[in-house]
Amino acid sequence: MTAATALRIGVVGGSIAGCAAAVAGSRAGADVTVYERSGAELQDRGFGIVIPPPLHRELVASGYLDARMETAPVATRVWLTREPGGRSTRELARQSSPVTPCNWALLWRSLRASAGAGAVSAGRARHLGRRGPRRAGGGHHRAR
């Protein structure tokens, strides 16, 4: 692809899905720009997210997530109940349910790091960086 015909992608939203889309577009050889309207870091936007272990392994192996990102693997789901107004709980059931819970902020930071470059203010949007295909001598190629 020449500089004049290189694919350029704009991703609206720099949250988890937006950063993952930026990584995918960049790896496909596109010049990717991510725009985020929030002026603040997005690290405190959520509590947690659960990823099936095979998907987590795939995301780490393919470089989307940093293997050092902390997780809390869980093998069993426990269902509890409490009587109305009561303080104690009792177990209703146990279910085999292997999952890899991740802190939302850690997941976002890992994807954000994989998406690249530092934030640059662009009006109400926030330019989170531009990634393009690597040139033979290093650096990124950017279509103009």
Q: Are 114 and 87 in contact (CB under 8 A)?
A: no
Alpha-carbon torsion, ordered 28, 62, 107, 53, to 10 deg: 130
For 6, other C-beta atoms within 10 Å of its C-beta total 16
- Residues 68-100: pLDDT tens digits? 999 989 999 999 999 888 889 999 999 999 999
The pLDDT of residue 55 is: 93
DSSP 133: P
Q: Are 107 and 69 in contact (CB under 8 A)?
A: yes
Tell me which residue of 95, 102, 115 sits closest to 35, measured CA to CA. Answer: 115
- Residues 28-79: pLDDT tens digits? 888 888 888 876 666 666 678 899 999 999 999 998 898 999 998 999 999 9
Tell me which residue of 116, 109, 124 sits closest to 41, measured CA to CA. Answer: 109
- Quick check: pTM over 0.75? no
